A and B are shown apart, each in its own frame.
Chain A
Amino acid sequence: MGLATRIIPCLDVDDGRVVKGVQFVDIRDAGDPVEVARRYDREGADEITFLDITATHHDRDTIVHVVEEVAGEVFIPLTVGGGIRTVEDIRTMLNAGADKVGINSAAVANPEFVKQAAERFGSQCIVVAIDAKQVSNAGEPRRWEIFTHGGRKATGIDAIAWAKKMVDYGAGEILLTSMDRDGTKKGFDLHLTRAISEAVIVPVIASGGVGNLEHLAEGVIEGKADAVLAASIFHFAEYSIQQAKQYMADREIEVRFYDQ
C-alpha cells in the first residue's frame, strides 16, 4: 500500500482543437479537447495535462474555455502549460479551473518569475517544464542542457543545475522532456530522467519518446520517474490508460485502479 505512480495523458491543443490526430472510434469529435479529456477521465487517467500550442496571444482565450468546461465535469488534477508568462496568466488558468500551470520558456527568460509565482499561488500549482538535450559526446560523461523554442535554441544552461535551481525557487514538480527523444517513440531518455529525479526532492514527470507500454514502465523502474506523461500512444488509441496501468502493475509498479 502506498503512493501510486501517476499516468498522465497530454493533449496538445491548438486554437481549441486537439492536434496530433486523435483516432477514437467511440467519440463524436476527436478534435474536441473536452471530449478527449472526458474519455481519459473515464479510462482512469490520474491527471490530465493540456499543452496550449496556439501561436498567437489573441487566440489563447480558447484554452481558457476548454479548461473551464473540462473542470466542470472532470474531477482529477488538471495542468495547463504553454504560453504562461505572467502572474496574470496563472491567475486566469487557476480561475478557469486548472490546478497547476506549467512554466517553461518564461522561467528561462526570467527565473524570478517562478519564485514570484510560487510565493503568490503556492508551490503545489507550479510545475516547471524543462526541455533538455544531451550535449556530451559518446564516451564523455553525460551532460544535458536546456533548450527552448521546441529544442531549436540552446541556452548553455546545465539541465541538472537548472532543475535544482527551479526547485529552490519554488517549483513543486518538474515536467522533464527529452528533446532528443520527443516524437521518436524510442522511449524516455532514462539517463536524463534518472539524473534529474535523483537530483531533486520534488516529483519528476518523465516525458518525450514513449512508443509502447514498456517505455512507461522503464521510465519508472530505471528512470526513477514519479509520473509518466504520454500523448500519441493514448491519442491514437494504441493503448488505453487501463492497459498502461495493468502493464505497469504487472511490472510491480503501484498504480491506481478504480472500478466503474
Chain B
Amino acid sequence: MSSVAVIDYGMGNLHSITKALQHVAPNIDVRVTSNKNQILQADRVVFPGVGAIRDCMNALHQSGLDEVILEAFQSGKPILGVCLGMQALLTFSEENNGTKCLGLIPGEVIHFPQPLLAENGKKLKIPHMGWNQVEQSFNHPLWNKIAPKSRFYFVHSYFARPDDESVVAGTTDYPDTFCCALARENIFAVQFHPEKSHVAGLQLLENFLQWDGSF
C-alpha cells in the first residue's frame, strides 16, 4: 500500500489535511507522524503548518525534523509544502524580526506592504483571507485537471519571493502578483490550503498522491 507521512512538529491543525488526503485516496496509508523513520520510509511527505515562522523553525530544530526534511528532499520522494510549510522552505523570513528558514529554495518570505491599496484606492485587508484565483505558471503534474485561474482558499500575511523565478509554479494577485506555488525537483509547495479548497484543492491532493516527483 502506498503511504504518505504528514509531518507533525506540533504546529497547528493537521486534522483537515489528513482528512482530505484520506478522502481523495481511501486506500492510501496516511500517517500523521514526527517519527524520523516513518517519514523517511513513506512514499510521499506532506509538510504542513500554520502560525508563526519562529515557532515553526524552533520546533523543527528541536525535534531534528529540519534534517529529516532535507533528507527526504535528497531522497527524491515527492514533498508537498502547505502554507507555513511552503514559507519554511525558503532561506529567510522577515517574520518575527527575521527568521532563518530551511533554505531548500533560495529566496525570502516577506509581509504584504501596508497600507495595501487596490487600484481603485480601496484598502485591502491583511491577512489575505478567502478564495483567490491561481494562475498556473507552467504545466506541472500537480496542476493536472485543474482549470486555469481556479480559486483556492488562502489565509496568510506573508508570502514567498524566490530568487529564481523559474521555480514559481503559480501566482495570485493581491493586488500585486505574488508567488503562491513553488516547484523545485521533487518539491511542490503552495501558500493556499488545498485541504480547504473544495474540488480544485482535492484534485491537487489527488495529483500529489499520483506524482512520482519529476516534471
List residues of chain A with CB under 8 Å of any chain B CB.
1-6, 41, 46, 71-73, 75-77, 94-97, 99, 121-125, 172-173, 198, 201-204, 226-227, 256, 258
Contacts and interface: CB of A to CB of B under 8 A. Distances in A.
B127 interface: yes
B196 A76 contact: yes
Interface in B147-187: 149, 151, 153-156, 173-175
13 contacts: A1-B133, A3-B124, A3-B174, A41-B198, A46-B130, A71-B19, A75-B195, A75-B202, A76-B197, A77-B196, A95-B13, A121-B51, A226-B129
Nearest to A73: B23
B149 to A, nearest CB: 7
A43 to B, nearest CB: 12
A125 B198 CA distance: 19
A21 to B, nearest CB: 28
Contacts, number: 101
Contact of B15 (A46, A75, A95, A201): A95
A94 B13 contact: yes
B199 interface: yes
B130 A226 contact: yes
Most chain A CB atoms below 10 A, which of B127, B129, B195, B200: B129
Nearest to B149: A1
Interface residues of B, number: 40
Contacts of B130: 3-6, 46, 203, 226-227
Closest 8 CB pairs of A and B: A122-B51, A256-B131, A4-B131, A94-B13, A124-B155, A203-B125, A3-B132, A122-B50
Contacts of B153: 76-77
A175 to B, nearest CB: 13
Interface centre among B130, B133, B154, B199 (most CB of A within 10 A): B130
Given A72-B23, A122-B52, A258-B198, A99 B129 contact: no
